[in-house]
Amino acid sequence: MDLNLKVWRQAGPDAVGRFEIYPMHDVSEDMSFLELFDVLNEQLETRGEEPVAFDHDCREGICGSCAMMIDGRAHGPERGTATCQLHLRKLTDRETITVEPWRAAGFPIIKDLAVDRSALDRIVEAGGYITAPTGAARDANEILVAKQASDAAMDAAACIGCGACVAACPNGAGQLFTAAKYSHLSLLPQGQPERFTRVVSMVEEMERWFGSCTNHGECEAACPKEISVNFIAMLNRDYVKAQFKNPALSGQRH
């Protein structure tokens, strides 16, 4: 198949960017979207032009490195699919494909299609963990977790931290990422002692970097792991609850 790639080129964080159009001839439908960029970059380098910078690594949809806005949609048109797992057979109806970096104030551009997503690390550092220093754990089967609770935690934990939710959001909000990490930990019995301090610190850190959520739901549609916006509801509920909770009293049952 033949197609045109219209790609955002930007030499550095402060440089002026522009679109370049690259005609691609005779590419196979079985090629993945990143392999298309490999081919493009080989051609550019052979011509003596600098290749397009883009983040990628595992190419199995799990590391969360790849991040391309494809025809205005984070990770492209296929539902539940990261850029690296998108194959050209799903794009045969197009003549020109526009590719841009994640566009969000919280993700400054590094070069071309690569952006800085360190803000996501800062949110985890703020409270996205269970305090359990190595060595102190009791036998694993002493903690019973209902299968349904464990499955729900796993649904949230599947987040790959790619940032598509932020990129898809008209407000550049980080709610789905934050809610996924928060819910994973707070649905489990092990996560209860820190639950309400966790929600406050994670939400406050998130607000330092990202815009506000206005319940568009674009994030869920863009998420390559199809993480549900219901987790945002859980985050919001616990954030409100936390305002009324005194952790010093959390040992009291009634």
Partner 1 sequence: MAISLDAGIPSGSIERKWDDYKFSVKLVNPANKRKFNVIVVGSGLAGASAAATLAELGYRVTMLTFHDSPRRAHSIAAQGGINAAKNYQNDGDSVQRLFYDTVKGGDYRAREANVYRLAQVSVNIIDQCVAQGVPFAREYGGLLDNRSFGGAQVSRTFYARGQTGQQLLLGAYQALARQVRLGNVELHNRTEMLDLVVKDGLACGVVARHLVTGAVRSFSGHAVVLATGGYGNVFFLSTNAKASNVTAAWRAHKRGALMANPCYTQIHPTCIPASDDFQSKLTLMSESLRNDGRIWVPTTPNDVRSPDQIPESERDYYLERRYPAFGNLVPRDVASRAAKREVDSGHGVGPIQNGVYLDFGSAVDRLGREVIEERYGNLFQMYERITGEDPYKKPMRIYPAVHYTMGGLWVDYNLMSNVPGLYVLGEANFSDHGANRLGASALMQGLADGYFVLPATIGAHLAPLLGTEPVPIDDPVFRDAEANVDAQVHRLLSVKGTKTVDHFHRELGKIMWDHCGMARSAESLDEALTSIPALRDEFWSDVRVLGENESFNQSLERAGRVADFLEFGELLVRDARHREESCGGHFRVEHQTEEGEALRNDDDFAYVGAWEWTGEGNTPELHKESLTFDNVALAQRSYK
Q: Which of residues 120-149 bind partner 1 (CB under 8 A)?
A: 120-121, 124-126, 128-141, 143-147
The tally of CA atoms less than 13 A away on the side-chain side of residue 99 is: 29
User: C-beta of 214: minimal distance to partner 1 in Å?
Assistant: 27
Q: Is 51 in the site for partner 1 (CB under 8 A)?
A: yes
Restricted to residues 5-34, the positions that interact with partner 1 (CB under 8 A) are 11-12, 28, 30-32, 34
Smallest separation (angstroms) from partner 1 to the CB of 112? 8
Q: Is 79 in the site for partner 1 (CB under 8 A)?
A: no
Q: Return the number of the residue (214 or 247) whose C-beta is nearest partner 1.
A: 247
Q: Which stretch binds partner 1 (CB under 8 A): 44-52, 91-99, 168-176, 210-218?
A: 44-52
| Binding map of partner 1 across residues 163-202, x = CB under 8 A, - = no contact | ---------------------xx--x-xx-----------
Q: Which residues contact 177 (CB under 8 A, 6 or more apart)?
A: 120, 123, 159, 161, 163, 165, 166
CB of 198 to partner 1, least distance (A): 11
- Which DSSP helix (H) or strand (E) runs through 118? helix 118-127
Name the residue nearer to partner 1 (CB basis): 77 or 191: 191
For partner 1, the closer of residues 132 and 248 by Cβ is 132
Nearer to partner 1 (CB atom), residue 209 or residue 246: 209
Structure tokens, 150: 């464990």
Q: How far is CA 243 from CA 87, 135, 186, 190, 196, in A?
A: 47, 33, 17, 22, 9
Task: Kindly state the DSSP code that residue 173 receives in the 8-state scheme.
Answer: B
Judge whether 166 and 106 are in contact, CB under 8 Å. yes
Residues 195-254 close enough to bind partner 1 by CB under 8 A = none
Q: Total residues contacting partner 1 (rule CB under 8 A)?
A: 79
Taking CB under 8 A as the binding criterion, the range among 1-9, 150-158, 167-175, 231-239 that sits at the site for partner 1 is: 150-158
Residue 65 lies near partner 1 (rule: CB under 8 A)? yes
Q: For residue 98, give the H/E element and its range.
A: strand 96-100
Q: How far apart are CA 176 and CA 211, in angstroms?
A: 12
- Spatial separation of the C-alpha atoms in residues 85 and 76, rounded to whole Å: 10
Q: Is 46 in the site for partner 1 (CB under 8 A)?
A: yes
In angstroms, give the least distance from the CB of 219 to partner 1.
19
β-bridge partners, 114: 111
Residues counted in the chain: 254
Residue 129 makes CB contacts below 8 A (sequence gap 6+) with: 185
